[in-house]
Amino acid sequence: MEAAMVALLTALPGLISGPASAVVICLLAMYGAGYVLVKFILPDQREALNKVLADSAENRAVFKQAVEIIDERFKSMEKNVSAVKKDVNRIEQDISEIKMKI
């Protein structure tokens, strides 16, 4: 039993400082970095993203309202242009009739 204990104690420093322990240390470091990322960094990013999305939704609503107003104005202008075009066509027709009489 004493020999096994001595063998374990002499092998332990090699196991702690060997390549397998380097892998374990790297895994623990990656786990710690992931934990910090998930617990502290990502929630802040999520809040910022949610705020951007909310602002974007508000901006989209304002933009949609502005486009609808512009559309109504263009419809009104189109009606006016159509009326002016009819008047111009009627005037051209009247001028053509007057030229025919002369």
Tell me the per-residue pLDDT of 31-78, one tens digit each, with 9 for 90 and over: 999 999 888 888 888 888 889 988 888 899 999 999 999 999 999 999
Confidence of residue 6 (pLDDT cuts 50, 70, 90): confident
pLDDT of the residue at 11: 74
Write down the mean pLDDT value for the chain. 86
* Three-state secondary structure readout of the chain: CHHHHHHHHHHHHHHHCCHHHHHHHHHHHHHHHHHHHHHHHHHHHHHHHHHHHHHHHHHHHHHHHHHHHHHHHHHHHHHHHHHHHHHHHHHHHHHHHHHHHC
pTM for the full predicted model: 0.43
| pLDDT confidence tier of residue 24, bands split at 50, 70 and 90 | confident
- Measure the CA–CA gap between 30 and 27, rounded to whole angstroms: 5
